[in-house]
Amino acid sequence: MSSETSPEIPQPDDLAPVVELASRVLEALDRVLLGREAFHRLVMTGILSRGHILLEGVPGVGKTALIKALGQILGLEFNRVQFTPDLMPGDILGSHILQQTAEGRREMSFQPGPVFTQILLADEINRASPKTQSALLEAMQERSVTLLGTTRALPEPFFVLASQNPIELEGTYPLPEAQLDRFLFKLVVDDPGADVLEEIIATRRRGEAPPPAKTLSAAELGELFQMMDRIYLPQAVARYIARLVAATRPAADEAPELVREVVSYGASPRAAIAMAEAGRAHALLAGRPTVGFDDVRAVALPALRHRLILGYKARFDGIDAAAVVSALLDSVDETGLDLPAGVEVVSGG
Amino acid sequence: MQELDTSVRRFRRRVALVSALAFWIRGLVLMGFLWGTAVLALRAGTGVRREVLLWGLAGALPIAVAALILGLRRRPSEGSVLALLDRHHRGGGLMMAAGELELGGWRGLIGEVAVPQVAGSYRWGSLAAAAAFVAGAFLVPVTPAGLAAERPLEIGEEIARLTERIELLEQEGLLGEDQAERFDDELQSLQDEASGEDPAATWEALDHLQEITDRAAAEVAEAALAEGARLAAAEAVAEALRGDAGGAGEGLASEAMAELSALTARAAADSRLLEVAVAAELGASAGESLDLGELLDALRRGQDDLGDKLDRLYAGGLIDLETLLAAKKSLEGGDLEKLADFLDENGLEAAGDYCRGGRPGSRPGRGGVSRGRADAAMTWKDPSSPEGAKWRAQVLDPSSLAALHQSHLLGLTAADPSAPEPGAPAAGAGIDPGATSGGGAGGAYTHTLLPRHRGAVQRYFDRQESPR
């Protein structure tokens, strides 16, 4: 799929069917997992952006169920790996084993690991050792695996949906910033409300969701990705994204006071790329051919949450990344309208 | 609602106008303060008329042009305006994309776009302050420095006062005619040329003239003191000579006459202080035929003349009251002893001794309120004869003898210094049996002084010795 945007925006007739496909996926997800429409939208945004997603939530909120359902709905191969402290890189990537051929020769043959799939659920990724965690780095970035000098491409599309438990941090290994930066989004999976719980209990035995029907074919999924390439990012929006990411650095001119106080290191350029792609996906799901400021504001928190390195002051004052991103969005003006001093826009007409 | 392109143009134009107005008001504020300062400076420095300075208002026009140009330059770009419109109308990026590519079928979704209102925060308060400053600069009364320079300095009173002093000095013969005329000319030129441009120079010139007249008056006062003393001394000597019929001896009297003549001539020599006629009369009286009566008259007329002159100088403010009183006191003479000392200091010892009656301290005073003490030194003439006096010897009682031994000298009083004749009986007489008579015709009275009276007696003699 081409990464360059089409010089022409998709016309309404072209966009409508694709939006319908995406809506079907969302509806199927909403039927499987109750009460998380907005969350499903963000997950779908990440998928359409071809990005990896880090899910954070306490056990039992449906992270694994979501990813399994997603794989089924999208018709993608799905593998699940439970990360444990004794997990080795070869357990994920694969290894060479000595085999005897029919002719009686013995040769080393490669046995692909669970990473060779289209959706890899890395459950409790923070439990594995850093060595094992870093084994996913190349796979996530390059979408290929190199072992013993041989590079093997991973299937297309390839997504890593990792989960981690915010509690029970004893014996865990926090993901390094380099690997965190490779996740497009970090989504927090909240506990379902009482109403949702009531519905779950009332309608599902043992909380098991009904198996989702396959919704998209490979071709249809391809259409979605192709349409993503045609969603237009206006120059002003691109400028806004760049200013937002630049403002995450404490030394930036537009950095708000909170960023200067609590942020040690700001987001990398990868964050801007992630926000641009996620903005396109958000616009597509909204049925628009162009990315607007609202799309950027919608994806800013998931894209920046895990990319801001906060200092000790944030920990002492109880300031999290969400508060920092909120301050950022409030302080950076979207339009960048440089009006002379004393002149202001008072109404939209 | 309008087309997007039209809306963008209208918004940019609206921003340009609002910005231009804001810049213009700021420019007017700056211009107002500068203009007001220039108005004040020009009105005070050169006296330029207000009507001329009103032309400064024309500066508002180029400021308006500059503000308009600045406003047009500071217009936002079309892309940023589209972004603003897209955000306000929640266009989802369509309006922004409209400025970059063809929207095709999406164009119809945009429709008419309302132009946002633009407001400017204008510094009306600063403009009002600047306008008030300009108005104040025009309305406040300012006296131009040049006008002040043209206005003459008011020194008429000073000129008149100095003119009077110079005239008085000239009338009294203390200033020459040429000198007085020169001073008058100088005063007149000062009055004509004095202006507010350089008041310091004018006042300096006036102070210089004042100083000259004051110096002349001081010289007059000093001379008057000496002249008065001379006249008083001459009068005293003349009176003494006329009143004494050879009692002080022919030699001393003739010397005193000669010195009196010289003193009178010296007094007559200073014509500045005496009228010409009076001085001439004194000079004639001091000639070879010295007539004491005429001399006394001339001296008294001289004294009166000098006193009148001093009164006129005091009335004209040339001398102060203290100087006047001191000069008048010197005219009166007063203390005979001081007069005699004055004569001695001026080389007229014979006259001084004559004043003292032949021996120091023997000349009686003249008495009177303005003529000093009337007491005269005690004189000893015709010592009394012991013939017919009866003396009775008295032995002192032991207590008196003891008191005599315990006594000590407290003081001396005037008495005949001649010692008693040896062998002369010491006779006591009088009421007080303890009184003893010392030797001598005058009789020193001695009395046993009780210890408790010693302090009083000591104070008496201390008072006697202290000058009055």
Output the pLDDT for position A2: 45
**How far is the C-alpha of A15 from the C-alpha of A12, rounded, in Å?**
5
pLDDT tens digits for range B293-348: 777 777 788 788 888 888 888 888 888 888 888 877 777 655 566 666 766 777 76
Q: Which of B94, B101, B123 sits opposite A8 (nearest CB)?
A: B101
Of A76-85, B29-38, B149-158, B257-266, highest mean pLDDT: B29-38
Examine the pLDDT at B379 and tell me if it is beyond 80.
Answer: no
CA of B212: how far to CAs of A68, A164, B132, B180, B317, in Å?
Answer: 124, 113, 55, 11, 14
Sequential DSSP letters for B450-466: PGGGHHHHHHHHHHHHS
Nearest to B237 by CA among B405, B85, B355, B107: B355
- Alpha carbon of A238: minimum distance to chain B alpha carbons (Å): 11
The Cα B268–Cα B227 span in angstroms is: 9
C-alpha distances out from residue B93 to A53, A239, A296, B338, B389, Å? 26, 13, 11, 125, 160
Tell whether A289 lies on the interface with B, counting CB pairs under 8 A.
yes
> Residues 6 or more apart from B454 whose CB is under 8 A from it?
B410
- Split at pLDDT 50, 70, 90, the class of A146 is confident
Q: Which residues of B touch A338 (CB under 8 A)?
A: 74, 76, 80
Report how far apart, in Å, the C-alpha atoms of B185 and of each of B84, B178, B201 are.
89, 11, 17
The arithmetic mean of pLDDT across residues A306-317, rounded, is: 93
pLDDT at A115 over 50: yes
Span B58-80, mean pLDDT?
Answer: 92
Q: In Å, how far is A13's CA from the nearest CA of chain B?
A: 9
**Partner B, chain A 182-241, Cβ-Cβ below 8 Å:** 232-237, 240
pLDDT confidence of residue B51: 85
Query: How far is residue A192's CA from residue A199's CA, in Å, rounded to a whole number?
Result: 10
A291 touches chain B (CB under 8 A): yes
Cross-strand partners of A263? A310
**Cα A149 from chain centroid (whole Å):** 30
Tokens of A199: 């519905």
Round to whole Å and give the CA distance between B166 and A332.
92
| Average pLDDT over all residues of chain A | 88
Q: What is the pLDDT of residue B448?
A: 64
Checking DSSP bridges between strand B436-437 and strand B445-446, what pairing results, if any? antiparallel
Contact B120 A342 (CB under 8 A): yes
Which of the given ranges, A188-192, B435-439, B448-452, has the highest pLDDT on average?
A: A188-192
Residue A349: closest C-alpha in chain B: B116
The C-alpha atoms of residue B331 and residue B303 are separated, in whole angstroms, by: 6
Q: What is the pLDDT of residues B216-267, one digit of tens each?
A: 888 877 887 788 877 887 787 777 777 654 455 566 667 777 777 777 777 7
pLDDT at A281 over 90: yes
Can you give the pLDDT at residue B414? 66
* Measured distance CA(A169)–CA(A126) in Å, rounded: 9
Q: What is the ipTM of this complex?
A: 0.82
The confidence score (pLDDT) of residue B143 equals 67
User: Which residues are B436's β-sheet partners?
Assistant: B446
- Under the banding of pLDDT at 50, 70 and 90, the label for residue A263 is very high
- When pLDDT is averaged across residues B460-468 and rounded to a whole number, the result is 64
Q: Which pLDDT score is estimated for B287? A: 57
Q: Provide the shortest C-alpha distance from residue B73 to chain A (in Å).
A: 10
Measured over the CA atoms of residue B335, residue B336, residue B338 and residue B342, the dihedral's sign is positive
Is residue B128 over pLDDT 80? yes
pTM of the model as a whole: 0.59
SS (H, E, C) chain A: CCCCCCCCCCCHHHHHHHHHHHHHHHHHHHHHCCCCHHHHHHHHHHHHCCCEEEEECCCCCCHHHHHHHHHHHHCCCEEEEECCCCCCHHHHHEEEEEEECCCCCEEEEEEECCCCCCEEEEECHHHCCHHHHHHHHHHHHHCEEEECCEEEECCCCCEEEEEECCCCCCCCCCCCHHHHCCEEEEEECCCCCHHHHHHHHHHCHHHCCCCCCCCCCHHHHHHHHHHHHHCECCHHHHHHHHHHHHHCCCCCCCCCHHHHHHEEECCCHHHHHHHHHHHHHHHHHCCCCECCHHHHHHHHHHHHCCCCEECHHHHHHCCCHHHHHHHHHHHCCCCCCCCCCCEEEEECC
Q: Determine which of A59-73, A239-253, B138-152, B296-310 has the lowest per-residue pLDDT on average.
A: B138-152
Taking the C-alpha atoms of residue B128 and residue B29, their distance in angstroms, rounded to an integer, is 8
Mean pLDDT of B429-454: 53
Q: Given CB atoms, is B81 within the 8 Å cutoff of chain A?
A: yes
Return the pLDDT at B304.
83
Output the pLDDT for position B2: 55
